């Protein structure tokens, strides 16, 4: 995906709560509002096929609901300690008149 995809409204993404969405091609993405900015990362755990957004959000990290691997919501980077060892992708986020768009980072 190289183009911007409209994924929701700014007010859909609230502090402390993941917003699960999907791109047109079915790619699962979750958006997070953290410290005044909105971030988007891939929402499928690289360890097994489960949505990270159903896990536990703790500040800037999301914990997988199945085996507790943790990922940084700003970057998608995995934090050592769980069984997952691969990062999830992160996406650029753009706000255009209250509509949120995402695209793969270049």
Under the rule (CB under 6 A), what is the footprint of ligand FES?
A: 45, 47-48, 50, 64, 66-67, 69, 82-84
Q: How far is the CB of 65 from ligand FES (least distance, A)?
A: 7
Nearer to ligand FES, 8 or 46 (CB): 46
Nearer to ligand FES, 38 or 57 (CB): 57
For ligand FES, the closer CB: 57 or 84: 84
- 39 in Cβ contact with 83 (< 8 Å): no
Q: Which two tokens stand for residue 78?
A: 């995995």
Shortest distance in whole angstroms from residue 29 CB to ligand FES: 16
Q: How far apart are the first and last CA of the chain?
A: 10
Using CA atoms of 86, 47, 90, 3 in order, give the dihedral in degrees to the nearest 10.
120
The CA-based dihedral angle spanning residues 24, 76, 33, 55, taken in that order and rounded to the nearest 10 degrees:
90
- The least CB distance from residue 15 to ligand FES, in Å, is 24
In angstroms, what is the minimal distance from the CB of 22 to ligand FES?
A: 19
Structure tokens of 86? Answer: 């691969």
């Amino acid at each position: 995906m190289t183009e911007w995809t409209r994924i929701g409204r700014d007010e859909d993404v609230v502090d402390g709560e993941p917003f699960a969405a999907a791109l047109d091609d079915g790619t699962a993405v979750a958006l997070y509002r953290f410290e005044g900015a909105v971030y988007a990362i891939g929402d499928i755990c690289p360890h097994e096929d489960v949505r990270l957004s159903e896990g536990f959000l703790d500040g800037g990290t999301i914990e997988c609901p199945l085996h507790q691997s943790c990922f940084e919501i700003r970057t998608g980077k995995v934090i050592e300690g769980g069984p997952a060892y691969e990062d999830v992708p992160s996406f650029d986020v753009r706000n255009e008149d209250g509509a949120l768009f995402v695209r793969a980072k270049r």
